[in-house]
Amino acid sequence: MARLMEGKVAVVTGAGRGIGAAIATMMAEHGAKVVVNDIGVSLAGEGGDQSPADEVVAAIKKAGGQAVANFDSVAEFNSAAKIVQCAVDTFGRIDCVVNNAGILRDVIFHKMTEDDWDSVLKVMLKGAFNMCRNAADHFRKQESGSFVHMTSTSGLIGAMGQANYGAAKLGMVGLSKNIAVDMQRFNVRSNCIAPTAWTRMTASIPPKDPAAKKRIEQRMQVSAGHNAPLAVFLASDAAKDVTGQVFAVRKNEIFLMSQSRPMRGIHRAEGWTPDSCAEHMLPALKSGFFPLDRTADVFPWDSI
């Protein structure tokens, strides 16, 4: 097996369980030295248990790899700096950051509290910024580096009861693309993955109808490990020409997702008024409007 990350140092946040643990483990299998970051909180961001990160590190070491556990939070800028510094202090450098840490506060929008919103955005979107900004100085100096961000079809497409989560995940796409643009001069890459897996997080979402229950039964057969190969590839030098892209994984399927581009335009030499928007713009463009579809509408087939 080719070891695509030989000599690399990677930080994976939220790596004590699920997708993060699978990515950290496979990166170690491919030769990376890994900082397994996880503060061990509940899905809602409460409590703290260091054993999940310790267990992942122990498994990596037992298999002959190198890893260290880290328990700092991504949600605060100075705390995120400690995660990056942990990689530098322990392994001498940093080559990749995987922004995987996240929490859930699912609730229908008209019942969502300010804390529901702030807590999710702080961990996922601000947390991704905190990690990237602290790693960016190292990447710029060494003129190399890779960011891999875990986004979601909840943001790319839409979902019920996840306005906070979807906003954070779509925000990560914008963050990733702009990092890719700003840091390309330093040979730094930034890409997103929208994963699919049966994890502690997805298991916490109750089915709302029989169709949702059937999808859950299908998703239970998709492991977190199905998302790891793409993450390892994107973090490696084999992906040196891949940046600013958004991918989705559904078991054995990998998709390149679209990005916003103009679809159709219309022009009025005299300019626009509210009335002409209603009389001209609306009928001209309405056939191209996107429906209020959700992830299940766009991916209606079995991923097995």
Q: Which one of the listed residues 91, 139, 165, 247 is annotated catalytic?
A: 165
Q: How far apart are CA 81 and CA 132, in angstroms?
A: 10
Which pair of structure tokens corresponds to residue 215? 């999808």
Contacts of 300 (CB under 8 A, 6+ apart): none
Distances (CA, A) of 175 to 191, 201, 240, 256: 10, 23, 19, 18
Tokens of 5: 């990350």
Q: CB neighbours (10 Å) of residue 250? A: 22
CA angle 30/238/148 to nearest 5° reads 75
Distance separating alpha carbons of residues 178 and 288, to the nearest angstrom: 27
**3-state secondary structure (DSSP) of residue 68:** strand
At 115 the three-state DSSP class reads helix
Contact yes or no for 268/276 (Cβ under 8 A): yes
Provide φ and ψ at 72, rounded to 5°.
Answer: -80, 155
The span from the CA of 282 to the CA of 141, in Å, is: 51
Q: How many residues does the chain have?
A: 304
**165 a catalytic residue:** yes
What is d(CA 75, CA 70) in angstroms, rounded to the nearest whole number?
Answer: 14
Task: Please identify every residue annotated as catalytic.
Answer: 165
